[in-house]
């Protein structure tokens, strides 16, 4: 057994199902945490996750957020006669009654019930499916509208503070820890040309023109479980970054990840296009579920959210490439750079289709 295996077996053994494990296998495609599916001899399934402690400095605070949010949602679902064990994550307790396990290396692990007969799709298989994810994230935000936001820990400070992400990119350029700076002149120029844009949302927030909400902040398609039989959205998952934020963050991150014709790391940019039909479909789902509660400024700045979330994650990939791939998991040396180029390409296409994007949201005013 390698070290990793020793530790995931140690973590799994800390749970009540520890004595009846049939198999532990890698699960899902996240860039940050390590995820495993635990199958038991009696057919029960659990999702075991190692929380990345480089990315999340206070895993205990994450778990406090997640316990609070999932219990809050569960109560609402139960009151509506819905099945809370499918509609939200259920975090399992260790044998000694804790919400997480700390292994012999001091690393944090958690377990959730696996929600059966559902699929996490990396990319929507149809516009209809993408719309369904929009409705799920819109509903998620509505359900948390009266959550006591001041009790939430900021699990990653300044997570979607785009000007701060720009500054972090400038730091990475200055430090050039990986010695790769000479490869990225065009990408740096691309980001710097959009420096002023970075501040649009944060300025409106600081001026009191956009309200702070409780948001998910990582709203990709794969973070909504889809029912295998009905095609309905069952549950929003990956709650590590649930924090106070702007509606435009959630809307925008879904668009950047999903309103595209190719994977986030597709290197052949002739295959990568911002897809206006997918954009329309998502907008219909999201605003159908969350729209009534939104102000005119919130609705008008949704396209800005789409562009800035795309630019921002592109800058994050680029900064990580320059820092030597310390944050995102990578499969090959240029992976982060390829992701950055892909996201910047989408930004450019959004700029070209800007009037159409605005027209789509303005129809909801």
Residue 258's nearest CA partner among 246, 275, 233, 241 is: 275
Query: CA-CA distances (angstroms) from residue 94 to 39, 54, 58, 116, 237?
Result: 17, 24, 19, 21, 20
Q: Which residue sits closest to Mg ion, CB atoms considered?
A: 218
Nearer to Mg ion, 139 or 218 (CB): 218
Distance in angstroms (rounded) separating the CA atoms of residues 250 and 246: 7
Site for Mg ion in 225-244 (CB under 5 A): 238
The one of ligand GN1, Mg ion, none whose footprint includes residue 269, by CB under 5 to 8 A per kind, is: none
Between 179 and 218, how does the x/- string for binding to Mg ion read (CB under 5 A)? ---------------------------------------x
Quote the DSSP letter at residue 196.
T
Distance in angstroms (rounded) separating the CA atoms of residues 110 and 97: 12
Instruction: State the minimum distance, in angstroms, from the CB of residue 306 to ligand GN1.
Output: 13
The one of Mg ion, ligand GN1, none whose footprint includes residue 250, by CB under 5 to 8 A per kind, is: none
Instruction: State the minimum distance, in angstroms, from the CB of residue 30 to Mg ion.
Output: 6
The one of Mg ion, ligand GN1, none whose footprint includes residue 55, by CB under 5 to 8 A per kind, is: ligand GN1
Q: Residues near 210 by Cβ (< 8 Å), separated by ≥ 6?
A: 201, 204, 246, 248, 295, 297, 298, 301
Instruction: State the minimum distance, in angstroms, from the CB of residue 238 to Mg ion.
Output: 4
Nearer to Mg ion, 162 or 223 (CB): 223
Nearer to ligand GN1, 69 or 77 (CB): 69
Q: In the beta sheet, which residues pair with residue 50?
A: 34, 109
Distance in angstroms (rounded) separating the CA atoms of residues 45 and 111: 10
Structure tokens at 89: 């994550």
Burial of 320 (0-12, 13-18, 19+ CB in 10 A): buried
Query: CA-CA distances (angstroms) from residue 310 to 8, 215, 289, 334?
Result: 34, 17, 23, 19
Task: Please count the other Cβ atoms lying within 10 Å of the Cβ belonging to residue 119.
Answer: 13
Chain-centre distance for alpha carbon 235? 14
Nearer to Mg ion, 218 or 349 (CB): 218
Nearer to ligand GN1, 32 or 248 (CB): 32
Instruction: State the minimum distance, in angstroms, from the CB of residue 317 to ligand GN1.
Output: 8
Distance in angstroms (rounded) separating the CA atoms of residues 224 and 120: 6
Instruction: State the minimum distance, in angstroms, from the CB of residue 56 to Mg ion.
Output: 11
Instruction: State the minimum distance, in angstroms, from the CB of residue 160 to Mg ion.
Output: 13
The one of ligand GN1, Mg ion, none whose footprint includes residue 31, by CB under 5 to 8 A per kind, is: ligand GN1
Nearer to ligand GN1, 84 or 337 (CB): 337
The one of ligand GN1, Mg ion, none whose footprint includes residue 129, by CB under 5 to 8 A per kind, is: none
The one of ligand GN1, Mg ion, none whose footprint includes residue 313, by CB under 5 to 8 A per kind, is: ligand GN1
Q: Does 264 bind Mg ion (CB under 5 A)?
A: no
Instruction: State the minimum distance, in angstroms, from the CB of residue 240 to ligand GN1.
Output: 6
Nearer to ligand GN1, 94 or 343 (CB): 343
Nearer to ligand GN1, 264 or 284 (CB): 264
Chain residues in the site for ligand GN1 (CB under 6 A): 30-32, 55, 218, 238, 240-241, 264, 313
Structure tokens at 95: 């044998």
Quote the DSSP letter at residue 43.
S
**Which helix (H) or strand (E) element contains residue 164?**
helix 162-175
Binding stretches for Mg ion (CB under 5 A): 218, 238
């Amino acid at each position: 057994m390698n070290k990793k295996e020793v530790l995931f077996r140690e973590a799994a053994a800390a749970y009540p199902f520890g004595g009846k494990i049939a198999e532990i296998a890698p699960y899902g495609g996240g860039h940050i945490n390590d995820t495993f599916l635990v199958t038991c001899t009696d057919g029960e399934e659990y999702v075991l996750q190692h929380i990345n402690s480089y990315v999340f400095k206070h895993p205990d605070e994450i778990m406090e957020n997640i316990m609070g949010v999932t219990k809050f949602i569960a109560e609402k679902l139960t009151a509506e006669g819905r099945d809370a064990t499918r509609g939200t994550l259920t975090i399992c307790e260790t044998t000694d009654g804790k919400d997480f396990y700390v292994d012999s290396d001091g690393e944090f692990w958690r377990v959730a019930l696996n929600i059966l007969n559902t699929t996490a799709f990396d990319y929507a298989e149809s516009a209809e499916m993408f719309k369904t994810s929009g409705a799920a994230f819109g509903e998620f935000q509505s359900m948390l509208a009266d959550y006591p936001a001041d009790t939430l820990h900021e699990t990653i400070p300044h997570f979607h503070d785009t000007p701060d992400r720009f500054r972090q990119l400038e730091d990475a350029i200055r430090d050039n820890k990986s010695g790769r700076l000479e490869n990225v002149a065009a990408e740096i120029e691309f980001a710097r040309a959009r420096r002023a844009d970075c501040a649009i949302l944060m300025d409106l927030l600081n001026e009191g023109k956009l309200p702070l909400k409780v948001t998910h902040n990582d709203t990709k398609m794969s973070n909504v479980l889809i029912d295998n039989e009905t095609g309905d959205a069952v549950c929003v998952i990956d709650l590590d970054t649930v924090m106070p934020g702007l509606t435009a963050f959630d809307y925008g991150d879904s668009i950047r990840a999903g309103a595209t014709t190719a994977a986030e790391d597709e290197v052949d940019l002739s295959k990568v296009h911002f897809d206006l039909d997918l954009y329309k479909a998502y907008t219909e789902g999201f605003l159908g579920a969350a729209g009534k509660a939104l102000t005119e400024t919130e609705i008008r700045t949704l396209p800005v959210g789409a562009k800035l979330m795309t630019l921002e994650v592109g800058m994050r990939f680029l900064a990580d490439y320059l820092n030597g791939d310390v944050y995102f998991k990578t499969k090959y040396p240029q992976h982060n750079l390829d992701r950055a180029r892909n996201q910047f390409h989408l930004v450019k296409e959004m700029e070209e289709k800007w009037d159409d994007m605005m027209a789509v949201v303005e129809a909801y005013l």
